[in-house]
Structure formats: C-alpha cells, structure tokens
Amino acid sequence: MTTVAELLTDAPFFAGLHPETIELIAGCASNVQYEPGALVFREGEPADAFYLLRHGTVSVEAYSATGGPLVIETLEAGDVLGWSWLFTPHRWHFDAHALTAVRATAFDGICLRGKCDADPALGYELVSRFAQTLIERLQWTRLRLLDVYGHAGQR
C-alpha cells in the first residue's frame, strides 16, 4: 500500500523536497474521498486545510444571492486546492464542490502552520510553492479578465 509520504514524493507540487521534509508534511496529511456533488468547503467557513487532488474534478464557485453559483475554475488531479489556510483570516473565499468522485490528500492547516512556525525553512518552502500556484492562477485569471473571446474590431 502506498503511504502518504510516497504519494507526496510523486506529486509535482512537492517535487524536490527533502525526504525528511516530506515526512514532516505527511504527518499532517490524510487521504480523503468525496462523492460527486459533495461540498469540500464553503465560503466564510474556517480554512483549516488544503488538498492535493489525486483523482477527479473539483469546482471552485462564487455564489451571489441574485445570480446563484458561478463556477470560477475547475481543478483536477495534480492540482492543489485551497490556500486560505496559509493566509489570514484563514477563511475560505469561495465554495468548492466535487464534480466527480474525488480522491485527494488533505493537509491539516493548523498542524502545518504549527510546523511552519517552528521551522521557518519549511514555512519558506511551502509559501514559495503556494506563491507559484497563486501566480499561475493569477495569470490565467488575468487572461480571462481580458475577455479575449469578446468582440474585436471586426467588420
């Protein structure tokens, strides 16, 4: 049976980490599953975890009272879901639902924050990796803000 540490070693998000660091992170991790349609987290609730998706698709959604839910992004195997655990006020900004059956590794944010406080090198590693993910998502968001499929000056 594959251990959590072995799963993390194979994940690009954790690529290059020292085996001892992987073990440290794996100490805060557990494997979870969601049925299609299941809520992974809800906007406004405490953000005390993040997820490394191993199978399936999760939608990140914004909800408005007048417009209902709008899917902002879908995430798949290999993607990381959730960074609010790392930054104050540690609350989710969006909803997340499993679109399909999902298998993921969940990381206890409180546990990890404690380890980061005790070991700044670990904190730096994690913040660097989440910053990279944030930059990629920000770039894609900027591309969407440009509304490139809108009307151009055509005849």
Partner 1 sequence: MPASAELEAPPSGAMVPAPYLVRRRRRETSDTWTLTLEPLSGEGIAPAPGQFTMLYVFGVGEVPISVSGTDGGRLVHTVRAVGAVSAAICAAKPGAVLGVRGPFGTVWPLREAAGRDVVVVAGGVGLAPLRTAVRALEREHDDYGSVTLLYGGRTPGDLLFRGELEQWRRRGRLAVEVTVDAARPDWKGRVGVVPKLIEGARFDPASAVALVCGPEIMMTFSVTALLDRGLAPERIHLSMERNMRCAVGHCGHCQLGPTLVCRDGPVYSYERLAELMEVREL
Q: Which of 4, 25, 26, 99 binds partner 1 (CB under 8 A)?
A: 99
Least distance CB 146 / partner 1 (angstroms): 6
Compute the distance between CA of residue 152 and CA of residue 17 in angstroms, rounded to an integer: 46
128 alpha-carbon distance from chain centroid:
14
Residue 31 sits at the vertex; the CA angle it makes with 17 and 47, to the nearest 5 degrees, is 80
Residues 19-78 that bind partner 1 (CB under 8 A): 57, 59, 61, 68-74, 76, 78
Phi, psi of 29 (to 5 degrees): -115, 155
Compute the distance between CA of residue 140 and CA of residue 80 in angstroms, rounded to an integer: 15
Q: Which of 97, 102, 115, 130 binds partner 1 (CB under 8 A)?
A: 97
Q: Interacting stretch for partner 1, rule CB under 8 A, among 23-31, 101-109, 114-122, 145-153?
A: 145-153
DSSP 73-92: EEE-TT-EE--TTTSTT-B-
Site size toward partner 1, by CB under 8 A = 26
**With respect to partner 1, which residue has the nearer C-beta, 9 or 57?**
57
Report in angstroms the alpha-carbon separations of 71 from 61, 74, 94: 4, 7, 10
Least distance CB 44 / partner 1 (angstroms): 19
Residue 144 within binding range of partner 1, rule CB under 8 A? yes
Chain residues binding partner 1 by CB under 8 A are 57, 59, 61, 68-74, 76, 78, 97, 99, 140, 143-144, 146-152, 154-155
